[in-house]
DNA sequence: CAATTAACTTTGATAAGACAAAGTTAATTA
DNA sequence: TAATTAACTTTGTCTTATCAAAGTTAATTG
């Protein structure tokens, strides 16, 4: 079995992988994501490569093998199911569950995870809108775009928050922009680098403004979202 | 903070400590309990002793300091609250929760533990009848005796199972001897080294026989048990 | 195209935690 | 009391994971 350290590296390699699948993840980005010095990342990646979980090309970077990706997705599945459990069953605030899940994801047994999955009725998304890989290691594709490139004026809803830091999620809470929230993007100002959007609530609507860099952290859905 | 290894040593020192508080726990027993070679136990105990969590007397053994005992009780509190959560909320069988709890006890944050405690409504006992130390590190005394030395003929009930192995607990399940079960000890045969007892069920009673060595693993209550 | 620089790798050292095997104590037996 | 033995400690080595600092590559810039 892969150590918790290796599980962490694989997860970060997966999460930080470049959009273009032919590209390598550079060691600089990986070491930053894992939180170790570049030299440490190099030697760990060499070891993980010996176990055929990643391909490593010196001075180019690192890339998951199919086996490594499966392992990464299992870790991610654990992480996201646990987050949902903490929110839905234990009643923790969704802005606070990330750190606990980060630890728990490495110790929860398959048996326990199956039970959690069952209790939550095989959910497809975690509290931040991140897709939960299936037990078979398949990620359902989400048809999403960010608040920067979605159509203006059309009613849509928040699907996913990409920044999981507690502070940011508390801001998201205040704005009422949690996954599922109904919104309409009112305008974009390229000079001011801001987006204005309407949050549609049952009682009253609310206008929210944010910078482009923040708007990028919100994904909105294009098609109907299942479950 | 104490490492997970140290937490484990402290927990085992607590659980294996001799009944007489002036006695030392020998290194042989400790190494067996932790599952390491004697030499490893010696060097770890030296390190833990440097941190003032235990007293160590070469060739005599080891004993918790007040600080070490508090830490041990916190680990035990986590373990037992987690076991109860897994049984009551996640619906796992009580014979299967020990191993998961063994891992989870080292990673659950104080915040999460407080939430678990709240959801379970501040329980006093885990599924095996083991007392859950309070957040302040106090263990409620149980007034118990084993099936070997409790009075004959009197109605009483099972309070606690001392053997937590899955196989044994499955046997306990079959006999219907879980904590809370109403029983009456019918007879003891010192020649055959067996105890016979009546398990009082709503529909019908059942006679169960077991050896002295197994009877010792059951504690029955003397006074009324709270909560 | 030489000099600079950013990114990466290598090297050497360290800490935690473990084992095997050799060495030591102290109790038991003869 | 000498020999034996069980229990414990010491010593040396290993693995995993880390850092700091020195060395290397390759891209950028003047």
DSSP codes joined into one string, A145-185: EETTTSPSS-EEEEEEES---HHHHHHHHHHT--TT-EEEE
Closest CA to B128 of B103, B152, B96, B105: B96
pLDDT band for position A142 (cuts 50, 70, 90): confident
Assigned token pair, B43: 């060097």
**Phi then psi dihedrals of residue A157, to 5 deg:** -145, 155
Owner of token pair 């203006």: A152
Q: How far apart are CA B52 and CA B60, in angstroms?
A: 17
Closest CA to B83 of B73, B93, B74: B93
- pLDDT, one tens digit per residue, over A82-120 is 999 999 999 999 999 999 999 999 999 999 999 999 999
Are the beta carbons of A104 and B109 separated by less than 8 Å? no
A223 touches strand D (CB under 7 A): no
Mean pLDDT of A188-201: 96
**A3, closest nucleotide (Cα–C1'):** D16
pLDDT of residue A153 exceeding 80: yes
Which pLDDT does position A131 carry in this prediction?
A: 97
Chain A window 37-76: residues with CB closer than 7 Å to nucleic chain C are 38-39, 41-43, 46, 58-59, 61
Out of A103, A109, A116, the one facing B107 most closely (by C-beta) is A103
Q: What is the pTM of this model?
A: 0.91
**Phi then psi dihedrals of residue B162, to 5 deg:** -90, -20
CA torsion angle for A150, A151, A156, A160 (degrees, to 10)?
0
- pLDDT, one tens digit per residue, over B63-76 is 999 999 999 999 99
* B188 sits in which H/E element: strand B182-189
**A38, closest nucleotide (Cα–C1'):** C8
pLDDT band for position B227 (cuts 50, 70, 90): very low
Q: How far apart are CA B157 and CA A165, in angstroms?
A: 50
Are the beta carbons of B112 and A119 separated by less than 8 Å? no
- pLDDT, one tens digit per residue, over B163-185 is 999 999 999 999 999 999 999 99
- pLDDT, one tens digit per residue, over B177-224 is 999 999 999 999 999 999 999 999 988 999 999 999 999 999 999 755
Assigned token pair, B190: 């010192």
Buried b (16+ CB within 10 A) or exposed e, B189-221: eeeeeebebbbeeeeeeeeeebebebbbbbbbb
Owner of token pair 């063994």: B102
Which pLDDT does position A222 carry in this prediction?
A: 77
CA-only gyration radius of chain A, Å? 19
Cβ atoms of residues A131 and A83 within 8 Å: no
Assigned token pair, B209: 């026989």
Distance between the alpha carbon (CA) of A11 and the C1' atom of D28, Å? 33
pLDDT band for position B225 (cuts 50, 70, 90): very low
* A57 sits in which H/E element: strand A54-57
- pLDDT, one tens digit per residue, over A24-63 is 999 999 999 999 999 999 999 999 999 999 999 999 999 9
Are the beta carbons of A104 and B99 separated by less than 8 Å? no
Distance between the alpha carbon (CA) of A26 and the C1' atom of C10, Å? 18
**Mean pLDDT taken over chain B:** 94
Which pLDDT does position A1 carry in this prediction?
A: 77
**Mean pLDDT taken over chain A:** 94
Which pLDDT does position B224 carry in this prediction?
A: 54
Mean pLDDT of A197-201: 95
Distance between the alpha carbon (CA) of B58 and the C1' atom of C30, Å? 29
- pLDDT, one tens digit per residue, over B112-161 is 999 999 999 999 999 999 999 999 999 998 889 999 999 999 999 999 99
Q: How far apart are CA B85 and CA B101, in angstroms?
A: 10
Which residues fall within 8 angstroms of residue A109, CB to CB, at 6 or more apart?
Answer: B99, B100, B103
């Amino acid at each position: 079995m892969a150590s918790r350290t290796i599980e962490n590296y694989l997860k970060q390699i997966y999460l930080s992988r470049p959009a273009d699948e032919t590209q390598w993840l550079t060691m600089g980005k990986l070491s930053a994501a894992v939180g170790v010095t570049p030299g440490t990342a190099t030697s760990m990646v060499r070891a993980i490569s010996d176990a055929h979980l990643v391909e490593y090309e010196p001075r180019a970077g690192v890339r998951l093998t199919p086996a490594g990706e499966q392992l990464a997705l299992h870790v991610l599945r654990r992480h996201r199911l646990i987050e949902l459990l903490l929110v839905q069953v234990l009643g923790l605030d969704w802005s606070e569950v990330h750190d606990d899940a980060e630890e728990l994801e490495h110790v929860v047994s398959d048996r326990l995870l199956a039970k959690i999955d069952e209790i939550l009725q095989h959910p497809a998304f975690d509290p931040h809108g991140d897709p939960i890989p299936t037990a078979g290691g398949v990620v359902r594709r989400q048809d999403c775009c960010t608040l920067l490139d979605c159509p203006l004026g059309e009613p849509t809803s928040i699907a996913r928050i990409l920044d999981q830091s507690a502070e940011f999620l508390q801001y998201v809470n205040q704005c009422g922009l949690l996954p599922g929230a109904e919104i309409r993007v009112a305008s974009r100002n390229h000079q001011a680098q801001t987006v204005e959007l309407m949050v549609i609530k049952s009682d009253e609507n609310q206008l929210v403004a944010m910078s482009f860099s923040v708007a990028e952290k919100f994904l909105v859905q294009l098609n109907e979202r299942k479950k």
